[in-house]
Amino acid sequence: MTKPSTISMDGPAAAGKSTIAELLAEQLGYTYFDTGVMYRAVTWVALERGLDIADEETITALAEKIKIDVTRPTVDDGRQYTVYADGTDVTWQIRRPEVDANVSPVSAYPGVRAALTVQQRRIGQRGRIVMVGRDIGTVVLPDANLKIYLDASVEERARRRYLEVRERGQPAEYEEILETMRRRDKIDSEREAAPLRPADDAIIVDTDGLSIEQVLAKVEDLVRGKDR
């Protein structure tokens, strides 16, 4: 069976999408592209400029003007890629708790999504890519050769994010992260523009209780045509 050239990987926050997609792309020799970094970059710039996240018109205008670029890692500090916002490296800033708490409303604005989806789709159509997000299989790449939806309980996902933040030496409270994640899930799943949901033809992989190696093995089987 021919390997799928375009692979979409969707799912809620901290379900393991980025880790699994990066490993899969590396094994296949494909481009790894996490579209969520674009929304995070817009959110970070808006917060840095003191813009009102609730002002949809202002945030949309920012998304239409800001130049976001994603490259292979430029610094050996554990990053998966380097993210630039108007030429400034914001790779770690966009992972801060204040971005976590504000990115969902930003990504829910139709104008913001429209401004960023065009670029995402153009990149995806080049093929040989594993693209990660929340609406890749449903909106950005509806014709993707293989659609995977990674899922996990909100408690497990909050635990993963808590450990991730602590490992970077930053302060973190599990209950606070859990509440933020619950609120984010609600916004993501109820928004009018591209709500979080599996595509009708997506294959759902539950990652609860599984190691990275076990999840990767399941996904590799899907790429090879097994379990499809």
Q: Give domain limits for the chain.
A: 11-216
| pLDDT tops 60 at residue 6 | yes
User: What pLDDT does residue 15 have?
Assistant: 92
User: What pLDDT does residue 183 have?
Assistant: 92
Helix 97-108 × helix 174-190 angle, to 10°? 10
Confidence band for 73, pLDDT divided at 50, 70 and 90: confident
pTM of the model: 0.76
Q: CA–CA separation, 32 vs 123, rounded Å?
A: 11
Helix 97-108 × helix 110-124 angle, to 10°? 90
Q: CA–CA separation, 220 vs 228, rounded Å?
A: 11
| Residue from 163, 187, 169, 159 nearest 102 by CA | 187
User: What pLDDT does residue 1 have?
Assistant: 61
Q: Which of 21-35, 56-70, 141-155, 183-197 has the lowest mean pLDDT?
A: 183-197
User: What pLDDT does residue 19 have?
Assistant: 92
Q: Which of 21-35, 47-61, 69-83, 129-143 has the lowest mean pLDDT?
A: 69-83
User: What pLDDT does residue 11 have?
Assistant: 94
Cβ–Cβ under 8 Å, residues 140 and 9: no
Share of the chain above pLDDT 70, in %: 98
Collapse the DSSP code of 70 into the 3-class scheme (helix H, G, I; strand E, B; otherwise coil) and give the result.
Answer: strand
User: What pLDDT does residue 134 have?
Assistant: 87
| pLDDT tops 60 at residue 50 | yes
Gap between the terminal Cα atoms of the chain: 12
Share of the chain above pLDDT 90, in %: 70
Q: CA–CA separation, 137 vs 16, rounded Å?
A: 17
**How far is residue 211 CA from its own chain's centroid?**
20
Collapse the DSSP code of 22 into the 3-class scheme (helix H, G, I; strand E, B; otherwise coil) and give the result.
Answer: helix
Q: CA–CA separation, 33 vs 7, rounded Å?
A: 11
Q: Give me the chain's average pLDDT, please.
A: 92
Residue with tokens 């997000």: 133
| Residue from 35, 163, 187, 18 nearest 101 by CA | 187
> What number is the average pLDDT over the span 157-168?
92
Confidence band for 122, pLDDT divided at 50, 70 and 90: confident
CATH superfamily of the domain spanning 11-216: P-loop containing nucleotide triphosphate hydrolases (3.40.50.300)
> What number is the average pLDDT over the span 103-117?
93
| pLDDT tops 90 at residue 90 | yes
Collapse the DSSP code of 109 into the 3-class scheme (helix H, G, I; strand E, B; otherwise coil) and give the result.
Answer: coil
Strand partners, 205: 150
Q: CA–CA separation, 106 vs 69, rounded Å?
A: 18
Its sign, for the CA torsion 202, 106, 62, 33, is: negative
